[in-house]
Amino acid sequence: MPGAIPASVTRLIDEFSRLPGIGPKTAARLTYYLLRTPDENALALAEALRDLKATTRYCSSCYNITEQDPCPICSDEKRDHEMICVVEEPLDVVAFERTQNYRGVYHVLHGAINPIEGVGPDQLRIKELVARVSQGAVREVIMATNVGLEGDATAMYIHRQLNGLVRLTRLARGLPVGADLEYADSITLSGALEGRQEMHE
Amino acid sequence: METMSQFLSSCLPHSPIHIPHPLQRVRIGANAAFVHIRSFMRISHISLTNFRNYARLELAILPGMIVLHGDNAQGKTSLLEAIYYLATSRSPHITADRQLISWLADDEPIPYARLVAEVTAASGLKRIEMTLLAGNRGSAARFKKEVRINGLPRRVMDLLGQILVVMFLPQDLALVEGAPVLRRRYMNVTLCQTDQQYCQALRKYEHTLSQRNALLRNLQEQGRRGDHSQLQFWDETLAATGAMLIAGRHRLLRDLERRAQRIHRDLSGAGEHLRLRYQPGFDVSVEPGGQMAFNAGDLGASALPELPPDEITGRFMEALSACRRDDLIRGITTIGPQRDEMRFLVNGHDLGLYGSRGQNRTAVLALKLAELSWMQEITGEWPILLLDEVAAELDEKRRTYLLERVGEAEQVLLTTTEPSLLPSELLKTAARWHVRNGTITVEETLSG
Ligand SMILES: Nc1ncnc2c1ncn2[C@@H]1O[C@H](COP(=O)(O)OP(=O)(O)OP(=O)(O)O)[C@@H](O)[C@H]1O
Ligand SMILES: [Mg+2]
Ligand SMILES: [Zn+2]
């Protein structure tokens, strides 16, 4: 039945289905829900989406998502800028900040090495990290990638790139295997941070 | 586990200590090669929903021998399959998990099957629950398995070892005659039931292997730009976990070979000598270039020297770098345990190539009985025995031999279309269940 669904509706359904965790059915349900809601609600959503992209960017130092560059953490004088904690996702930064126990800065990779999904070192902010460390003035790099094969592969790869340049540590294995950092509770994460160990091949 | 097996091996063989079985039942013979174990593990209740042709089944299961009889296609094998699945998280058949869900459930919004077993063990009563969710039809939602133990969500891996089973199936013959993948599967399932570390290594190995293969293909596409140093991590992980698989499989086959040889001699007479040969998926030479190669000649698994896993890791790493160029061209990992083989030899001849039907049956029966005795020794328990159509499959001599050896088990479920093929003594004491169209009726025993 071509034409049974207006093009603008199909377009939104398609856009929704691109999102992680949303299948075609959910996408259609969300779209028809929005069709029924008052105009101002739908417009508020549209504005929020537009602003999301218009007002945010990557921090040019740590590559976290930010509204101002450098981000509040990188521009905080009181933090220890010689200590960099390397994480996979922006939400991992949130998890570390919740511990209120870490006073260094971050580097966000935006993923982990995962050949099956076509993610190699070039798709991650690894070159930027190496450049940041090579400029000197960094005392320690803490590898805080997720526990599991992909996180380990990423940590080992970075280890090889930075070896000899700086002190490298890895979070202690208090974390459950397969656990995502963003879901770890603050106490576990603080413990893992304190018990971090020198990284060897 | 170690102390238990030490304890058991100290009373082995021909132990003067005979621990009386808590419930004396069918005993049509005893054999000194088999340990007498006081076992507690058994299933006391099973409930099935939408599993194969069981729309709904609630069944209390007694200890001892149970004969399931009925016409073809009524659900005898499916009940054994359900128990096997709860124990190992796999079907004994090569089948998609999706096919276990009753096709009558296909019209439901989310077709699912549920299997629940109540298990009595030395450690107390356990409730083991498994739900298979088909995912929406036509949607991308994938098939899912959910496990609960005593009501708490658990990983599928935590299921292994909760219920121990040994199953005898007519298609076991394919272990000798069929494709190598069946023999690797056999080694994996057998080891996973008793060895969590092996199971963990296996999962990690398989995951690493897919990542490495994907990386090989990515590098192939990238050509000269590709960064080959990325392989190092996956190579190291592959070698370390692969070495654990190789060491585990070698140990298993060595232990099984010793036991199977004894049983095979009983079954076939003195003239035939059985060997189980383990052939790792790359040459694990003891000395590189030395004459004592792991794969050499017709040596059985127990004649091969045991190698410590780090030594195997080292050899594996060397072998991986030796074939890296080949792997890059082919876009796949060409060596490793995913290529392992085990072969059955009688008097030096490979049964897979030269065995007669009867010879192959005897070899498989010897292997399965060896597995039973091995599992008893390392776990200190009688596994639950699932015997599918053994009466029709085996001749009188082998049948009697088998039934003698399982008579003392804590729990035996035996299917047959033809109860008259079973020894009358067994029929007198065993419980009898009639299976018809996905329902089970408990019958009076003949002797009452
Ligand atoms: N997913 C399914 N849903 C419903 N029925 C199924 C499903 N899978 C298999 N069956 C049916 O279940 C029936 C029972 O099969 P089963 O193998 O348990 O029979 P059996 O009693 O062992 O027979 P036989 O004596 O021939 O070995 C068969 O008719 C089979 O077609
Ligand atoms: Mg059957
Ligand atoms: Zn920043």
pLDDT tens digits, B335-362: 999 999 999 999 999 999 999 999 999 9
What's the mean pLDDT in B217-241? Answer: 93
Q: Where are the beta strands (DSSP E) in B248-365?
A: 274-279, 341-346, 349-350
pLDDT confidence of B137, banded at 50, 70, 90?
low
Domains, chain B, in order of start with CATH, read 2-164+381-443 (3.40.50.300), 180-354 (1.20.1050.90)
Q: Provide the shortest C-alpha distance from residue B331 to chain A (in Å).
A: 13
Residue type, A45: L
Where does B269-335 have alpha helices with state H? 309-322, 324-330
Alpha carbon distance, N-terminus to C-terminus of chain A: 60
Beta bridge partner(s), residue A10: none
pLDDT of the residue at B306: 80
CATH of region A65-198: 3.40.1360.10
pLDDT of the residue at B146: 94
Q: Which residues of B touch A115 (CB under 8 A)?
A: 211-212, 214-215, 218, 230
pLDDT of the residue at B446: 52
pLDDT of the residue at B300: 76
B221 to chain A: closest CA residue: A118
pLDDT of the residue at B7: 37
Nearest to residue B377, comparing CAs of B369, B389, B386, B365? B369
CB contact under 8 A, B211 and A157: no
Exposed e or buried b per residue across B427-440, where buried means at least 16 C-beta atoms within 10 angstroms of its C-beta: bebbbbbbbeebbb
A65 CB neighbour count, 10 Å cutoff: 16
Share of chain B above pLDDT 70, in %: 85
Q: Distance between CA atoms of B399 and B423, rounded to whole angstroms?
A: 9
User: In sequence order, which residues have a C-beta less than 8 Å from that of residue B322 and are 6 or more positions away?
Assistant: none
Label the pairing between strands B384-388 and B411-416.
parallel
Q: Provide the shortest C-alpha distance from residue A29 to chain B (in Å).
A: 15
State yes or no: pLDDT of B392 exceeds 90: no
Number of Cβ pairs < 8 A linking chain A and chain B:
44
CA of B156 to the centre of ligand 1 (A): 25
State yes or no: pLDDT of B322 exceeds 70: yes
Q: Which residues of B touch A153 (CB under 8 A)?
A: 211, 230, 233-234
User: In sequence order, which residues have a C-beta less than 8 Å from that of residue A34 and are 6 or more positions away?
Assistant: A12, A41, A42, A45
pLDDT of the residue at A17: 87
What is chain A's mean pLDDT, rounded? 89
* DSSP per residue, B167-178: EE-GGGGHHHHS
B417 CB neighbour count, 10 Å cutoff: 15
State yes or no: pLDDT of B30 exceeds 70: no
State yes or no: pLDDT of B224 exceeds 90: no
Nearest to residue B244, comparing CAs of B339, B313, B196, B194? B313
State yes or no: pLDDT of B95 exceeds 70: yes
pLDDT of the residue at B102: 95
A177 — contact with chain B (CB < 8 Å)?
no
Least confident of A4-8, A182-186, B60-64: A182-186
Question: Which of B139, B141, B211 comes nearest A149 by C-beta?
Answer: B211
Least confident of A197-201, B207-211, B389-393: A197-201
B140 to chain A: closest CA residue: A23
Nearest to residue B394, comparing CAs of B371, B431, B369, B375? B369
What's the mean pLDDT in B180-194? Answer: 96
CA of B102 to the centre of ligand 1 (A): 10
CA of A76 to the centre of ligand 3 (A): 10
Residues 78-137 of A with CB under 8 A from B: 113-116, 118, 120-121
A156 — contact with chain B (CB < 8 Å)?
yes
A161 — contact with chain B (CB < 8 Å)?
no
Atom of ligand 1 nearest to the CA of B415: 22
Nearest to residue B62, comparing CAs of B388, B409, B405, B411? B411
pLDDT of the residue at B241: 97
Ligand 1 pocket residue status of B74, Cβ below 6 Å: yes
Q: Distance between CA atoms of A106 and B348, rounded to whole angstroms?
A: 64
pLDDT of the residue at B109: 79
Q: Are A40 and A50 in contact (CB under 8 A)?
A: no
Exposed e or buried b per residue across B400-415, where buried means at least 16 C-beta atoms within 10 angstroms of its C-beta: ebbbbbbbbbbbbbbb
B102 to each of A86, B48, B77, B425, how far by Cα in Å?
A: 49, 11, 15, 37
Q: Distance between CA atoms of A189 and B403, rounded to whole angstroms?
A: 57
pLDDT of the residue at A180: 67
What is the reported pTM?
A: 0.84
Q: Do A7-55 and A65-198 have matching folds?
A: no
State yes or no: pLDDT of B14 exceeds 90: no
Q: What is the DSSP letter of B96?
A: -
Q: Distance between CA atoms of B200 and B187, rounded to whole angstroms?
A: 14
CB contact under 8 A, B210 and A116: yes
State yes or no: pLDDT of B20 exceeds 80: no
CB contact under 8 A, B218 and A114: no
Ligand 1 pocket residue status of B76, Cβ below 6 Å: yes
What's the mean pLDDT in B267-281? Answer: 90
CB contact under 8 A, A116 and B214: yes
Q: Are B438 and B448 in contact (CB under 8 A)?
A: no
State yes or no: pLDDT of B314 exceeds 70: yes
Q: Are B317 and B258 in contact (CB under 8 A)?
A: no
CB contact under 8 A, B229 and A152: no
Q: Are A85 and A105 in contact (CB under 8 A)?
A: yes
State yes or no: pLDDT of B295 exceeds 90: no
- Judge residue B362's burial from the number of C-beta atoms within 10 Å of its C-beta, 0-12 exposed, 13-18 middle, 19 or more buried: buried
Q: What are phi and psi of B49, to 5 degrees?
A: -130, 125
Q: Which of B51, B57, B78 to mutate to test the pocket of ligand 1 (most atoms within 8 A of CB)?
A: B78
B214 — contact with chain A (CB < 8 Å)?
yes
pLDDT confidence of B13, banded at 50, 70, 90?
very low
pLDDT in tens, A27-37: 999 999 999 99
pLDDT of the residue at B33: 45
Q: Are A93 and A124 in contact (CB under 8 A)?
A: no
Residue with token string 């009889």: B69
Q: Are A64 and A109 in contact (CB under 8 A)?
A: no
Ligand 1 pocket residue status of B52, Cβ below 6 Å: yes
Q: Distance between CA atoms of B168 and B81, rounded to whole angstroms?
A: 11
pLDDT of the residue at B285: 65
Atom of ligand 1 nearest to the CA of B71: 25
pLDDT confidence of B8, banded at 50, 70, 90?
very low
Q: Give the ipTM of the model, two decimals please.
A: 0.78
What's the mean pLDDT in A173-192? Answer: 68
pLDDT of the residue at A66: 96
| CATH of A7-55 among 1.10.8.420, 3.50.50.60, 3.40.640.10, 1.10.10.10 | 1.10.8.420
Share of chain A above pLDDT 70, in %: 92
State yes or no: pLDDT of B60 exceeds 60: yes
Q: Are B363 and B264 in contact (CB under 8 A)?
A: yes
B112 — contact with chain A (CB < 8 Å)?
no
Question: Which of B139, B214, B233 comes nearest A23 by C-beta?
Answer: B139
What's the mean pLDDT in B178-206? Answer: 95
Q: Distance between CA atoms of B416 and B273, rounded to whole angstroms?
A: 31
pLDDT of the residue at B437: 96
Residue with token string 């597995």: B371
CB contact under 8 A, A160 and B212: no
State yes or no: pLDDT of A186 exceeds 90: no
CB contact under 8 A, A115 and B229: no
Ligand 1 pocket residue status of B354, Cβ below 6 Å: no
CB contact under 8 A, A149 and B227: no
pLDDT confidence of B135, banded at 50, 70, 90?
confident
Q: What is the DSSP letter of B305?
A: P
Q: Where exactly are the structural domains of chain A? A: 7-55, 65-198
